[in-house]
Structure 1
Amino acid sequence: MTEQTVSTENLQERLFSKLEASNEDMIKIRRYLHMHPELSFKEYKTAQYIQDFYKELGVEFRANVGGNGVVARIKGAKPGKTVALRADFDALPIQDQKDVEYKSTVDGVMHACGHDGHTATLLTLAKALHELRDELAGEYVMIHQHAEEFAPGGAISMIEDGCLDGVDAIFGTHLWSQTPYGTVEYRTGPIMAAADRFEIKVQGRGGHGANPHQTKDAVVIGSQLVQNLQQLVSRRVDPIESAVLSVGSFVAENAFNVIADSAELKGTVRTFQPEIRDLMETEIARVVEGTAISTDSEIDCKYFRGYPAVVNHAAETDFLVKTIEGLEGVEAVEGAPQMGGEDFAYYLENVPGTFFFTGAAPEEPYPHHHPRFDFDERAMLQAAKILGAAATGYQGE
């Protein structure tokens, strides 16, 4: 065993000891944030809370990075690499239906995806790293990102504002309510999908329900569109590849005896490969054009590209797995790609890194974005240890 290995192990032990000592405070931070959620691009008090935390520590930070983002930097006493760690902090427009003491106090808004836990984890880890700064090599960039839930998201504007300046690698995790505590899911290459959306407006010709022959029924036309669109994945995408097309909204509100004059459809497309993403956009336009011609109607389609796929780098993912294998009480498992989207993708387009899922399933797990969503709070300490071990251990890579 080399002297450097012994030194790294000793540092890790001290880091873990500090994280364990701060576990109760981490839970308090998470619960406070859970009780005071804020929507994407409106996270002013949350951003101030993060700033106040770093002010009290005496850690250098920048506020209003790319919007409401906060970036803190912790410099070690020894030269080394610059490693970034990221946590998001926005909430969702969902009514909290949990019966817990830390239930959201904001009507119609809740942390239904674990971002409160992400923030508490990174703040606690930052405190531990700051206390060990005289023993650390390199620099640690704590990226507290706003607006992950709503495209265009906060990542891209924070990158444009310099949050990745000088960064050699980045690591990020998502507390995952569908994965058992003690399990970490990783994957080299695409791990989360590109998330696009579309809006289609059908303009037919309304009329009396008794005389459909005198109309161009927007409901029927919209129904044809739904059926035709649902065939794109099964008949236009190579079965070896993956894609999802879902129509989530179909609105044509009228009285019972009125043929709809217009209808609006909204949906999402999820893909992993850029060429499949291009294909889906092209084919949706083709289906819309063909349906308009065949029904003699006017159909307008708008396609909005959201976050690209999250594509993990091989070297950093391999390093993460080796790091986890050296820890007690956690198992690294190669997981399947997720069709959910994440703007962590933008960071990985700019610097090497990896994104992984930390198992956080509670006794009664609910999906992310569910009104009763919650997670096992023990997972925060585990996530902090993994991120801390990865960040400090990367100095030797």
Structure 2
Amino acid sequence: MTKNTIADDTQTRIDYLINCRRTLHRCPEVGFEVPETCSLIERFLDELGIVHTQKYCKYSVVGYVGTRTDVPVIAVRADMDGLPVEEKTGLDYASEKAGFMHACGHDAHMAMLLGAARTLKPIEDSLPFRLKMIFQPAEESADSGARLMFENGVLDDVDYVLCQHVDGSLDSGCVGYAYGTVCSACTPIDITFHGKTAHATIPHKGHDAIAMMFKTYSGIQLMLSREIDPFENMVCSVGAVNGGVVHNVVCDKANMKISLRTFDVQVNDFVVDRVKLLAEHAAKELGGTVNYEAHMSAPAVVNDDFVVDCLKEAAEDIYGDNVRLVRPKMSSDDFSWFAANKPSVYYWLGIRNLSKWHETSLHNNDFMVDDDALLGGEKLLINTMYKLAKAIQ
């Protein structure tokens, strides 16, 4: 890639990226229900003269840049959904939807992909690759948007897939990458305990669902400390417990929600089965019953070494020594449904700027993205596609 092939009107590109991100940031939506976000993406693509479709999934958007048929098709995934979080950033472009926020940087992901499309569109006839833009809903959901789009054939014509995710633990101007398994599998577990009500002063006449739940909780902690290899990369976090309504009635229904993250399928299956057994035993011992649901919403993300090498080379062209080999993360991403089926790379773009605000983390209500990082992210997407195309040739 040379300056003769891409018009480098830096300020115009920066302004475009910031406008796209801030426009999208104001209207976060969650799950598959992202109609306003979808309409905005379609409007941006229409302005660029890019044909698009929603055929792979409701409120998804897919389009192409590049006209040649003798070149590799390289897809870039940008997730579209926000989170049910009340924004507390105080920004003048903060969320206009009460109770919802782009707290995971998906607004930045969409903006950088749009910026790359805008930059490449004028020279699409000469590109040594064809860019397939995949704007995907429901990355944060238990029901995966990526899985649905894959099942509907979104990768059928694709050779490689890229996914760039912002990272609040890396400074703006840095890139993180890793080989092999880079993100954990995610298995949500939902357990409902059923007992029998009684007056609080005669608890022996009832079957306490809360007691069943906390007996299970204690068993889980013992299992984690005594039945799992301490060197195993895994997390089993109880994120929600609910039961009872008033102080003077023995609770007859309680619910526990667990987030299980693992790198190894055998460990995942062991924990799922073991927690089920603990819950069943606790319920039976206290005279109740249990409903148990567990399903893997996303497998682990596994990078392809060849694609990582191309990404690393492309990043070093732009960021020099600020390209870092980082540890895998226990967070999950349904990009894994793409990575499991096509050679792919999932990497991290630094967006922390401590000279502007304190350090903020993904999924927090004060999460911030440094706009100064956006142009580098756009350039990195473009340069990685060029590196891939050249390496293939």
In the alignment of these two chains, the number of paired residues is 388
Partner residue in 2 for 1:5: none
Unaligned runs of 5+ in 2: none
Pairing partner for 1:282 from 239, 260, 273: 273
Partner residue in 2 for 1:317: 308
Partner residue in 2 for 1:335: 326
Partner residue in 2 for 1:74: 65
**Larger displacement relative to structure 2 (304-313 or 158-167):** 158-167
> What SS does structure 1 have at the residue aligned with 2:129?
strand
Partner residue in 2 for 1:63: 54
Pairwise CA distance, 1:202: 1.5
Question: Is it true that 1:390 corresponds to 2:384 in the alignment?
Answer: yes
Compared with structure 1, are the counterparts of its residues 191 and 16 closer, same or farther at alpha carbon in structure 2 (3 Å cutoff)? farther
CA contact under 8 A between 1:200 and 1:302: conserved in structure 2? Answer: yes
Compared with structure 1, are the counterparts of its residues 220 and 269 closer, same or farther at alpha carbon in structure 2 (3 Å cutoff)? same
Compared with structure 1, are the counterparts of its residues 227 and 330 closer, same or farther at alpha carbon in structure 2 (3 Å cutoff)? same
Q: Deviations over 1:269-328 (max 9, x none)?
A: 111111111111111112122223333321221113211111111111122112212224
> What SS does structure 2 have at the residue aligned with 1:208?
coil
| One-letter amino acid of the structure 1 residue matched with residue 383 of structure 2 | A
CA contact under 8 A between 1:18 and 1:128: conserved in structure 2? Answer: no
CA contact under 8 A between 1:175 and 1:380: conserved in structure 2? Answer: no
Distance of 2:53 and 2:204 partners within structure 1: 65
Question: Is it true that 1:193 corresponds to 2:187 in the alignment?
Answer: no
Partner residue in 2 for 1:3: none
Question: Is it true that 1:166 corresponds to 2:160 in the alignment?
Answer: no
Question: Is it true that 1:144 corresponds to 2:135 in the alignment?
Answer: yes
Pairwise CA distance, 1:344: 0.6
Pairwise CA distance, 1:83: 0.9
Pairwise CA distance, 1:254: 3.2
1:165-314 equivalences under 5 Å are 165-314=156-305
Distance of 2:197 and 2:266 partners within structure 1: 39
| One-letter amino acid of the structure 1 residue matched with residue 370 of structure 2 | D
Compared with structure 1, are the counterparts of its residues 114 and 320 closer, same or farther at alpha carbon in structure 2 (3 Å cutoff)? same
Partner residue in 2 for 1:28: 19
Pairwise CA distance, 1:14: 4.6
Pairwise CA distance, 1:126: 0.4
Distance of 2:321 and 2:143 partners within structure 1: 34
Unaligned runs of 5+ in 1: 1-7
**Larger displacement relative to structure 2 (116-125 or 334-343):** 334-343
Partner residue in 2 for 1:360: 351
Distance of 2:297 and 2:134 partners within structure 1: 21
| One-letter amino acid of the structure 1 residue matched with residue 227 of structure 2 | R
- What is the TM-score when the length of structure 1 is the normalising length? 0.92
Question: Is it true that 1:157 corresponds to 2:151 in the alignment?
Answer: no
RMSD, matched Cα: 1.9
CA contact under 8 A between 1:19 and 1:124: conserved in structure 2? Answer: no
| One-letter amino acid of the structure 1 residue matched with residue 335 of structure 2 | F
| One-letter amino acid of the structure 2 residue matched with residue 131 of structure 1 | P
Compared with structure 1, are the counterparts of its residues 289 and 178 closer, same or farther at alpha carbon in structure 2 (3 Å cutoff)? same
Question: Is it true that 1:378 corresponds to 2:375 in the alignment?
Answer: no
Pairwise CA distance, 1:27: 0.1
| One-letter amino acid of the structure 1 residue matched with residue 371 of structure 2 | E
**Larger displacement relative to structure 2 (283-292 or 309-318):** 283-292
Compared with structure 1, are the counterparts of its residues 16 and 265 closer, same or farther at alpha carbon in structure 2 (3 Å cutoff)? farther
CA contact under 8 A between 1:175 and 1:357: conserved in structure 2? Answer: yes
CA contact under 8 A between 1:324 and 1:330: conserved in structure 2? Answer: no
* Runs of 4+ that moved beyond 4 A: none
Pairwise CA distance, 1:73: 0.9
CA contact under 8 A between 1:67 and 1:154: conserved in structure 2? Answer: no
Q: Deviations over 1:123-172 (max 9, x none)?
A: 01001111222331121111111121112221122222322122111111
